[in-house]
Structure 1
Amino acid sequence: MSRRIILLEDGWAFMEQGITKLKRILEGLPEPQFSSQEYMHLYTTIYDMCTQTPRPNDSTPNDYSEQLYDKYRGAFENYIATTVLPSIEDKYNEFMLRELVNQWVNHKVMIKWLSRFFHYLDRFFIPRRNLPTLHQVGMNCFRDLVYRVVHEKARKAIIFLIDEEREGKQIDRALLKNVLGIFVEMGMDRYEEDFEAEMVKESGAYYSRKASSWIEEDSCPDYMIKAEESLKKEKERVTHYLDSSTETKLIEIVQQKLLVAHANQLLEKENSGCRVLLRDDKVEDLSRMFSLYCNITKGLDPVSNMFKQHITSEGMALIQQAEDAAASKQIGHEQVLMTKIMGLHDKYMAYVTDCFENRTLFHKALKEAFEVFCNKSVAGCSSAELLASFCDNILKKGGGSEKLSDEAIEETLEKVVKLLAYIDDKDLFAEFYRKKLARRLLFDRSANDEHERSILSKLKQQCGGQFTSKMEGMVTDLTLARENQAGFEEYLRENSVAHPGIDLNVTVLTTGFWPSYRSSDLRLPQEMVKCVEAFKGYYATKTKHRKLTWIYSLGTCHINGKFDQKPIELIVSTYQAAVLVLFNGSARMSYSEIMAQLNLTHDDLGRLLHSLSCGKYKILIKDPNTKTNSHSDQYFEFNSKFTDRMRRIKIPLPPSDERKKVVEDVDKDRKYAIDAALVRIMKSRKVLGHQQLVSECVEMLSRMFKPDIRAIKKRIEDLITRDYLERDSENPNVFKYLA
C-alpha cells in the first residue's frame, strides 16, 4: 500500500504549528511540553516529505528536502526578526545583556529541537550537497542577524561593568561570563576583534589615569601595593569571566601603564624609592618590587643598577672609615674593615636570596659592586694584603679567634674565601698569605691545624689546586720536620759525643714550597757552630742527595742573661743571639769588631745593635765616651745592671719592609705567567692578531690577576726578541708562533 503524498504547503503548515508551540514554550507562555507522539509526528512528516516517491504519470517532484532546508533557515530568520531582536534592542546596559543571554539560551534550545525534527536532512540531504549542518545554519543565523547587530552595544556594556567593578562596586560576574561565552562561541577571532582588543585598550586607558594619580599622591611602597592588588584583581577577572587567552594581553597592558611607564619616577622617589628601601632594610617592599618587575622584559635592570650603586656606596663608605681610622692611627682598623665588609656581604647576599629569588642579574650586581671597593687600597695596603692579614689574625695564637667557637671560625673562613672571589690580585693575596702562613708554622703561632687545613681546602675549591699547592706543601713539610726533629733527638741520645750542649730544634723545609728568604753569610760564634755541625752530622745519615741551606733570619734563640739583680731569659733572633754571645768573651766591643767577627753588612748590624741598645730593652749600652759619630768607632758594653719585672722577655727586631719584597716577587712571577700564557695561546693558534692575542691572554690570566695591557705588550715584544714569536711581514699587528 503506497503512502499518502504530502504536499509542501500542507506539510509545512503542520510543521509551523509545531514551531509555534516551541516558540511559546521558549517564551514561557502556558503551553504543554511535546509528547513523544507529537515529536514522532513532526519528525515523520519531515521524513515523509523527503522520501516520498512521485505518483505514476506525475512529473511533479515529491522530495522537498531542498525546500525544507530553506524553510528551516527561514524559521530562524523569522523568529529572530519578530521576537529576538525587538526584545534586545529596547533594553540597555545590564538589562540588555541579560536579555541577550536569555535569547541566546532560547536560540540554542530552538536549534536543538528543530535539528531533531529535521534530522533526516542532516543525515542524507546535507552530506550529499556538502551544505552547512542544521546546527551551523542556526548558529549562523544568530551570528549574522543578532550578534553583528548588538555586539558593539554589548561590548560597551561589558566594559562599563568591568570599570564599575574596578571602582569597587559589585557586579554580576556570572552574567559577564555568559555574555562573553557568546563572543567565544561566535569564534575566537570574533572574541578577539569585537571585544578583547577594545577591552584591553580601555583597560590601558583606565590604568594610565590611575597611575598618573597614584604616582603623585602615594609613596613607592603604597603605589606598589596598589599595583600588586590591581594585577591580582585582573587575574581574578580572567578566572571568573574573561577567556584565559586574554590574561597575557591584559596583564601586559596593566604592567605597561602602572609599572613600565612610571618606572624611573617610582624607583627614584625621593623619600621612598628603591635606594631608600635598601637603606632602610624594607625587605617586604623590595620583595614586592621584585615580584612586580620580574616578569617585565628588562624590568629589573633599573632595580639591579640601584642595588649595585647602593652596595658600592656603602662599601666605599667603609673604605673611607678605614682610611680615617688609619690616619688617626687606630689599632686594628684593617680587621674592623674586613669584618664590616663580610657583614655587608652577608646582608646583601640575603637580599639576593630572599628578596630577589637568587636571580642571576642580582648576583652579578652584587659581584660588580663588591669588585669596586674590594680592590681599593687602605693607607697604602692593598685589599689582598688586608685580607691575608685578616686571615692571619683569625688563625694565629692570640689573634681574633680566641673568643670564637670552631663553627664561628669555619664560618668566617668561608666568608674570607667568598670575598677573595671579588679581589683581582689573587696571586698577591696568595703570596701575602703564604708569608704569614710560613711565620705561623715556623714560629708555632698557628692556633689550630684543622683550621689551617680547612681554609686551604676552601681556597683550593675556589681557586684551583695550583693556587694552594705550595701552601699544602708547607703544612706537609712541618709534619715531616717534626719527625726529623724526633729523629735528631734520638740521634743525640745515641751519640752523646755529638751533643753540642745546647738544646736545638731544626725545621727542614722544601725550598720550592716556602717563600724565598735571604740567606746571608753570617759567621756564627763557635757555640752556635757546634749546633749546626751536630745537625749536619745527623742529616748526613739520612740522605746524601740534599743540601742544607741555613736561613738564620728565621731562627729564634732562648738565651739566659746573667744580670746583677737577677737572671732573665731573653728570646731573640739568631742574629741578635750571635751578637750577644760575643759578649761572653768580652764585656766591651767596637762596632767594627762585631761586624768583622759576624761578617754582617752595615744595614744588618745597624738594625741589630739598635734593637739591643736603643729599644725598650737595653741589653747593650753604647759607650757615652765615644767622640765620633762614625759607626765603626762606636763601642758597646754589656749592660749588667739591666733588669725587668719579667723573668722572660722578647726583644723584637725593627720591622723590615716585607710588603715591598712581596710585591716585587709577585710582579716577577706575573711576567713569567704572561709569557707562559702568550706562548700557550700562540702554540695552539699558530697565527693570531694583536687584539685577539691580548684579550685571550687577559681572559686566561684573570682567574689569578688582572694583567696590565701595557705589561702584556712588553712581554710580546720580549718574546719576539727571544724568537718565540714574529710579526707577519705584511701586517705588523699579526703574530706568528715560531716552533
Structure 2
Amino acid sequence: MDREIIELQPGWEKCRMYINKLIAFLEKETESAFTSEEYMSFYTIVYNMCTQKNPYDFSQELYQRYRDSFTGYISERVAPALQEKNGEAMLHELTMRWENHKLMVRLLSRIFKYLDRYYVSRYNLDYLNDVGLMCFRDIVYEYMKPTMKNAVLSMVLKEREGEQIDRQLVKTVLEIFVEIGLGNMKNYEEDFEKYILEETSLHYRTKASEWIEDDSCPAYMIKAEKCLELEKDRVNQQQQVEGAGGASAKDADGASKQVNSGYFHHTTESRLLDCVEDELLAKYEMQLLEKENSGCVALLREDKKEDLARMYRLFSRIPKGKEPVAKMLSKHIESEGMAMVKECNERAEQAKAEALTKSKKERRNQESQETVFVKRLIKLHDKYLLYVQECFDNDALFHKALKEAFENFCHKQVANCACSELLASFCDNLLKKGSGEKLSGDAIEETFEKICKLLAYISDKDMYAEFYRKKLSKRLLFDRSANEDHERSMLARLKQQCGPQFTSKMEGMLTDLQVAKDNQGRFEQHLEKNPEKKPPLDLSVLVLTQGFWPSYPVNTMIIPDEMEKGIEIFKEFYDLKTKHRKLTWVFTLGVCHLSGRFGSPREKKYNFQMNTMQAAVMMLFNSEEKLSFGEVRDRLKLDDADVIRLLHSLSCAKYKLLLKNPPGKTVSKTDIFELNTKFQDKMARIRIPLPPVEQEKKKVAEIVHADRRYQIDAAIVRIMKARKVLKHSELMTETVTQLSSSFKPDVKTIKKRIMDLIERDFLERDKNDPQLFRYLA
C-alpha cells in the first residue's frame, strides 16, 4: 500500500509544534520537552518528508527550516535575555543559555538525523550539529565576545588578588570559546587567550617591581613559586578526588570521580607560565642572585639548602636560567678552597716555627697541616657534592661547576707540596700500620671513594701515581701495609678512575711480592733438604721484577763475610731455577736484625732493627774498638755522602750506638768512632731509622717529567701516523686531548717535543706551509 504524501506546510506545522514544545521546556515554561511517543512521531514525520519521491522530497526545505528554528529562537529569546545583564550575572545567563542551546542542538540533530546521513553528505553541507552551534556563534558569540572576555578577565584578576570566585562559571564560559570553534582553537586563542596573557604579564610586572624592592631573595622566590603554582592550578586539569581515609572517591559505577581543578584550557598552560616566568624570574634573575645579604652567595654561605633548591627549581624554568647560578656556585666553592689553601699555608709556616720549641713527641702527635688540608678538602667536596645532589637535582651543569671549582684550586701548592703528593701521603697514612686514625673497614673504603673523586680534579695524575707507587713499595717491602685487601681495593678504584695503565705497575708490585714470598718459601725448603748449605745467619730474600718497582740506588758496598756467604748460597739456589736473570742486590732496602749486649758489664741484651748498610757498619766494630771516618769508608767502599748518613744515624740520632770524637751533632771526615758500651734504653727492641735521602721529592718530579716527554713523543707519533698530514693547531689540540687523562701537558713542552721529533726524522714541515706537519714513515 502506498504511503500517504506529507505536504511541506502541514508537515512543518507538526514539526514546529514539537520545536515550540522543546523551546517551552528550555524556557522553563513546561516541565518536560516531549514524551517518547512524541519524539518518535516527530522523528517519523521528518524521515517521511525526506524519503518521499520527488517532487515531495523536502530535505532541502527541512535543512533550511532547521537552521531558521535556531536563528529565530536565539534572536527572539536568547539574545535579548543576555543584553539585559552585565558582569557575572551575564555570565551565569550565558552559561545557562549555552547549555540549553547545546541540549536543543543535540535533540533536534537526532530527530533530523536522516538529513545528516544522506542530504548533507551528498551535497557536502555543514552537519546539523555544526549548524546549530554556528547559529549561536553568529548571533550571540560574535556580539557578546568582548563582554564575555572582559567579564572573565575581571574575575581572574579578583582571584589573583585573593578573592573567591566561581571557578566553575569561568570554566564553562571558557569552554564556549573552545566549543564555538568546532574543533578549531582559533576563537579561544584570538578572542580570549591573547588578552589573558597580556593581562597576566601586566599583573605580574607590577607585582615583581614591588617585591624586588621590598623582599629578600628567599621571600621573593617563595612568592614567585606560589604564583606559578596558582597559575598552574588555574589550568583545566583532571585530578582524582580523594575520599575519606585517602581512598579515591567512586561514582555509582565504581569508577573514580574526576574534577576540573582549573578553568583555562590546557593548551594555555605553557604560554601562561612563560608569561609569569618572564616577568617574575627572567627579568630579575641577576638582581635576585646578586642581592647582597640574601642572594645566591649568601644562601651558599649560610647553608640555606631549602632556598637553594627553590632557586634551582625556579631558574630551571627559564632559558639559560641555571647558568648564572652554576657560575656563582663555582666561584663560591673556589673562593672557599683558595681561602683553605691560604690558611693551611699560613698554619704550616706557623707550625714550622713552633716545631723548634716542641718536643719530638709533641711534633709526632701533632697532625700535619697537609693531612688537615686533605681532610678539609674531603669535607668541602662532600658538602658541595651533597648540594649538587640534593639542591640542584644532580644536574650535569652543577657537577661541571663543582669540577671546575676544585680544578682551579687543587693545582695550588699547599705547604710546599702539590695536591697530588698530599693525596698520595694521605692514602699512605690510611694504609700504613700504626699511623693515622683508627677507622673501620667501611670507613676506610668510603674514604678511598672520596679520594678517587678528588683525584678526578687533579691535572697531574701521573705525579700522584709516582708518589703513590713510591709509598706503596715502602709499605710492601718493609711490611708496613695494614691490610692487603684494602691495598687491592684502592688499586681497583684507581683503575676504574684512571684506567688500567695507571695501576698496572702497582698491581704488578703486589703480584710480584707474592711470587717473591713463594720463592722464599722454596728457598727455606731447599735449606731444610740441604742443611750443610745453611747460611751463617737467617736470610730472607725478596726477588723483585725491576720493571714494576721504583728505581732505587744500588751500592756496590763490601758487606760482612757472614752476609756475603748467605748471598752466595741464595745465588746458587736461584741459579738452579733460572740462569737467564741477573740478581742486583739493593742494600738500601734491606733490613737486618742485630742483637747485642750493652751496659756495664754488658748485662742487658738489645735487639736492633736497622738497614743492611747500618748493620754492616756496626759489624765492623765486632773486631775493632775504634775506627775513623776514612777507615769505615774504605772498608765498605761507599761514597762519603752515604757514610755520613750511616754514621750520623748511629752516633748523632736518638739512639747513640756509636760514640763520636769529637762530640757533636754533625759528622765530619776527621771524626773517630767507637762502640758505646754504656748504651742504655728502657726498650729491649729498638728500631734505628735511616734518614731519608734529601731531595727525594725532586727526584720523583724528575722521573715524572722524563716519563712525560716519552708520553708526549708517543702521542704525537701516534696521531701523525694515523693522520699523516696535520696542521700545527690540530696536532696541539689532539695531543692535549690524548694526554689529559694522565696530565695536562704544557704547550711549550709539546712544541719542544715536536722540534725534537723533526730533528729525529719522525716528522717534517711542509715546504710551502710551515704550520703543516707530515709524518715520515
Range that drifts further, 695-704 or 84-93: 84-93
Q: CA deviation at 1:356?
A: 2.1
Aligned to 1:193: 190
Does residue 299 of the first structure (1) align with residue 321 of the second (2)?
yes
Distance of aligned partners of 1:711 and 1:64 in 2 relative to their CA distance in 1, 3 Å threshold: same
The answer as to 2:387 corresponding to 1:379 is no
What residue number does 1:290 align with?
312
Shift in alpha-carbon separation, 1:593–1:172, aligned structure 2, 3 A: same
Q: Structure 1 residues 138 and 520 mapped into 2: Cα distance closer, same or farther (>3 Å)?
A: same
CA change 1:18–1:572 in 2 (3 A) is closer
Judging changes above 3 Å, is the alpha-carbon distance between structure 1 residues 83 and 645 closer, same or farther for their aligned structure 2 residues?
A: same
Equivalent of residue 163 in structure 2, options 155, 160, 169: 169
Q: CA deviation at 1:666?
A: 0.6
1:569/1:649 contact within 8 Å kept: yes
| Aligned CA distance change for structure 1 residues 148 and 592 (closer, same or farther; 3 Å) | same
Query: Which residue of the partner structure matches residue 309 of structure 1?
Result: 331
Conserved in 1, the CA contact under 8 Å of 2:647 and 2:667? Answer: no
Identity of aligned residues (%): 54
State the partner residue of 2:175: 181
1:653 aligns with 2:690: yes
Give the Cα–Cα distance (whole angstroms) in 2 for the partners of residues 110 and 414 of structure 1: 74
Residue in 1 that maps onto 2:288? 266
Contact 2:334-2:405 at 8 Å conserved across structures: yes
Q: Aligned partners of 2:716, 2:36: CA distance in 1, in Å?
A: 97
Distance 1:93 1:592 in 2: 116
Any conservation in 2 of the 1:200–1:250 contact (CA below 8 Å)? yes
Give the match for residue 321 of structure 1. Answer: 343
Compute the displacement of 1:48 (Å): 6.3
- Single out whichever of 725-734 and 208-217 deviates more from structure 2: 208-217
Which amino acid in structure 2 is aligned with residue 260 of structure 1? A
SS in 2 for 1:245: helix
Partner of 1:457: 492
1:636 matches 2:666 = no
Of 438, 460, 467, the residue aligned with 1:425 is 460
RMSD, aligned CA: 2.6
SS of match in other structure, 2:411: coil
- Secondary structure, in 3 states, of the residue corresponding to 2:192? helix
Partner of 2:376: 340
Match of 1:205 among 199, 202, 207: 202
Aligned length: 730
How big is each residue's C-alpha offset from its partner over 1:183-229, in whole Å with a ceiling of 9 and x where there is no partner?
Answer: 11112111111111111221122122222222223232222222222
In structure 1, how many angstroms separate the alpha carbons of the residues matched to 2:633 and 2:2?
149
- Work out the CA distance in 1 between the residues paired with 2:544 and 2:760: 35
Relative distance call for 1:625 and 1:379 in structure 2 (3 A) is: closer
Measured against aligned partners, the alpha-carbon deviations of 1:530-568 in whole angstroms (never above 9, x if no partner) come to 232232222222221111101111112222344333443
Relative to structure 1, the CA distance from residue 17 to residue 595 in structure 2 (aligned partners, 3 Å threshold; closer, same or farther) is same
Deviating more after overlay: 454-463 vs 526-535: 526-535
Partner of 1:544: 579
Distance 2:124 2:418 in 1: 88
Counterpart position of 1:251: 273
Code of the residue aligned with 1:21 in structure 2: it is K
> Does structure 1 residue 491 correspond to structure 2 residue 517?
no
What one-letter code is carried by the residue in structure 2 that aligns with 1:640?
A: T
State the one-letter code of the partner of 1:499.
Answer: K
Distance 1:225 1:687, change over 3 A: same
Residue 176 of structure 1 and its aligned partner are, at CA, apart by 1.3
Give CA-to-partner distance per residue, 1:412-448, whole Å, 9 cap, x none.
1122222211111111111101110111111111111
Shift of 1:151: 1.0
Of the three residues 131, 136, 143, the one matched with 1:137 is 131
2:133 and 2:476 map into 1 onto residues whose CA distance is: 92
Q: 1:49 to 1:421 in 2, by over 3 A?
A: closer
What displacement does 1:181 show? 1.1
- State how 1:593-632 maps to structure 2 within 5 Å: 593-624=631-662, 631-632=668-669
Deviations 1:260-287 (A, max 9, x none): 2221122222222222222222222222
Counterpart AA for 1:735? F
725, 730, 736: which one pairs with 2:768? 730
C-alpha contact (below 8 Å) 1:215/1:223 kept by paired residues: yes
When the two structures are superposed, what TM-score results if normalisation uses the length of structure 1? 0.93
Q: 1:337-367 deviations in whole A, cap 9, x for unaligned?
A: 1122112222222222222222211221222
537, 550, 563: which is aligned to 1:528?
563
1:220 is matched with 217
Change in CA separation of 1:558 and 1:51 when aligned onto 2, cut-off 3 Å: closer
Distance 2:334 2:277 in 1: 30
Report the CA distance between 1:8 and its aligned residue: 5.7
Change (3 A) 1:578 1:67: same
* Aligned partner of residue 767 in structure 2, secondary structure: coil
What is the alpha-carbon distance in structure 1 between the residues aligned to residue 412 and residue 536 of structure 2? 53
Residues 390-405 of structure 1 aligned to structure 2 (within 5 Å): 390-401=426-437, 403-405=438-440
* More off after superposition, 646-655 vs 252-261: 646-655
**1:112 and 2:148 are equivalent in the alignment:** no
Contact 1:52/1:63, CA 8 A, preserved across alignment = yes
Select 1:412's aligned residue among 436, 443, 447: 447
- Aligned mates of 2:469, 2:175 — CA distance in 1: 76
Find out whether 1:710 has 2:748 as its counterpart.
yes
CA distance in 2, matches of 1:327, 1:632: 34
Structure 2-normalised TM-score? Answer: 0.89
- Asked if 1:234 corresponds to 2:212, the answer is no
**Counterpart mapping for 1:86-101 below 5 A:** 86-101=80-95
Distance 1:505 1:182, change over 3 A: same
Tell me, in whole angstroms, the C-alpha distance in 1 between the residues paired with 2:487 and 2:45.
Answer: 102
Q: Which runs of 5+ in 1 are unaligned?
A: 55-60
Matches of 1:405 and 1:618, distance apart in 2: 39
In the TM superposition, residue 501 of structure 1 has moved relative to its aligned partner by 2.0
| Greater mean deviation of Cα atoms: 132-141 or 238-247 | 132-141
Does the CA-based 8 Å contact 1:21-1:31 persist in structure 2?
no
The 1:51/1:730 distance shift into structure 2, 3 A limit, reads same
1:494, distance to aligned residue in structure 2 (A): 3.9
For residue 406 of structure 1, report the CA deviation from its aligned partner: 1.3
1:74–1:493: structure 2 CA closer, same or farther, 3 Å change rule? closer
Q: 1:513 to 1:72 in 2, by over 3 A?
A: same
Which amino acid is the alignment partner of residue 215 of structure 2? D
